[in-house]
Amino acid sequence: MELNKLFKGMMAGAMSLSLAACGGGNDSTSSTAGGAEGGEGEVSVFYYTFGDDYISTVRAALDANLKEAGVVFNDYDGGNNQTTQTEQIQTAISKGSKMLVVNVVDTASKDAAKNIIEMAEAAGIPVIFFNRSVDEDVITAYDKAAFVGTDYEMAGKMQGDMVGDYLNANFEAVDLNGDGEISYMMLKGQEGNAEADARTQYGVENANAKLEAEGHKPLAYYKADAPTKYELDKDGAWSSAQGTDIMQNALSQYNEDNGDMIECVIANNDGMALGAMSALQNAGYNTGEEGSKVIPIFGVDALDDAKKAIDEGKMTGTIKQDGEGMAKAICTMVQNMTSDKDKFDSLDAANVIGTWRINIPYSEYKAS
């Protein structure tokens, strides 16, 4: 890649500074948020965007953990732009960063992560990728690399099981037009994202398996002629605003008056789920008031707002993606990998996969 060639040419002058930074002490709790500055000896933390609700929980927890551990760090906002993030990484290394922690923007191909690995290796500094999927062969190509993530297929499977169990227990109430099948909307989030792909697949497959086991028809997509059985956030940001817009547009055509109301919403994150909930509330559903009709909505992340909505009867369930647990694991690994310990030292071995990754477990959150 031309960008990488340019960077490698630049690295010769900066290499001695970068290597010296690897031995820097962790004697400060200061950080410079926003990524405009940075300096020698910092741990550089790169987020795909500060605007993602779940990533915000990881960032808040990781900032607190790193400060408590006495680690000098700097947060960088990639603004959902891989070119921006790559340039931030180049700058941080040239200024003497001693470690990279990366929530990579572009997950549609291996190129972005491979380029970052090559930059870290050229500088001789460790790198941790987190949350957004990076392939095993990319991570294992460098012995100072690791990944902190989840078994993202499990999130979809757990969500699908939750959907199926709920629909089996409430089938007649959910089947608003009484046609014997449940019409659903799937809010995918982003095309080409491994987590989104798996949640989209298993959120439906596992729900259908539960339904069919009880003699019910499988889920039916609300747009029978749709080329894909999901709706995308056009900006790839998994946002509540897009969840609202998509649902509002759908309700203008698919509604109870027309006999084809969307009867269930499956969302790949809580942000889009909450957005869909807002649109439904504007149409008189899911208000939490006695007698209000409820369209079941399922998400992933267990954000505080989603848990509150579930407790109030406005949302149905979510799968907890443990942002605090992810942050704690990253912080431990930062300390390990900057002090020549095994990268997974002091972490639960049951969650470690080979020599390259650790998975943070999921759990259910639903009304009691």
Dihedral over Cα of 204, 209, 211, 216: its sign: positive
Report yes or no: 56 and 238 within 8 Å, Cβ to Cβ. Answer: no
- For residues 269 and 331, membership in a common domain is answered with no
Q: Let me know how many helices (H) and strands (E) the chain has, helices first.
A: 12, 15
Task: Say whether pLDDT at 350 is over 80.
Answer: yes
Q: Is the pLDDT of residue 245 over 90?
A: yes
Residue with tokens 């405009």: 36
Share above pLDDT 70 across residues of the chain, in percent, rounded to a whole number:
90
Domains in the chain: how many in total? Answer: 2
Regarding whether 183 and 107 lie in a shared domain, the answer is no
Location of structure tokens 């020549």: 340
Domain span at residue 121?
2-149+322-366
Task: Write out pLDDT tens, residues 290-306.
Answer: 888 999 999 999 999 99
70 and 187 in a common domain = no
Please state the rounded mean pLDDT for residues 141-154: 95
- Of the three residues 305, 320, 335, the one that is the final residue of a domain is 320
What single-letter DSSP state applies at residue 230? S
Q: What percent of the chain has pLDDT over 90?
A: 82
Pair (306, 352) in one structural domain: no
Work out the burial of residue 265: count CB atoms within 10 Å of its CB; fewer than 13 is exposed, 13-18 middle, 19 or more buried: buried
> 304, 320, 336 — which closes off a domain?
320
Cα dihedral angle (34, 39, 45, 48), rounded to 10 degrees? 50
Q: What is the CATH number of the domain that holds 213?
A: 3.40.50.2300
- Cα dihedral 54, 147, 348, 201 sign: positive
Helix (H) or strand (E) holding 271, with range, is helix 270-282
CA distance 360 to 352: 9
Residue 143: CB atoms within 10 Å: 12
Same domain, 210 and 352: no
Q: Bridge-partner residues for 346, per DSSP?
A: none
Q: CA 250 to CA 368: how far, in whole Å?
A: 31
Do 334 and 215 fall within a single domain? no
Instruction: Report yes or no: 10 and 95 within 8 Å, Cβ to Cβ.
Output: no
Q: Are residues 162 and 300 in the same domain?
A: yes
**d(Cα 53, Cα 60) in Å, to the nearest integer?**
11
200 and 67 assigned to the same domain: no
Residue with tokens 């547009």: 249
Q: Are residues 296 and 156 in the same domain?
A: yes
- H or E segment at 87? helix 82-94
Residue pointed to by tokens 């970052």: 116
Q: Are 132 and 190 in contact (CB under 8 A)?
A: no
Q: Are residues 215 and 302 in the same domain?
A: yes
Summarised one tens digit per residue, pLDDT across range 220-239 is 999 999 999 999 988 888 89
Tell me, what DSSP letter sits at residue 363? E
What is the rounded average pLDDT for all residues in the chain?
90
Same domain, 157 and 267: yes
Clarify whether residues 136 and 156 are in a common domain: no
Residue type, 68: E
Q: What confidence tens digit (pLDDT) does each residue in 308-345 have?
A: 999 999 999 999 999 999 999 999 999 999 998 999 99
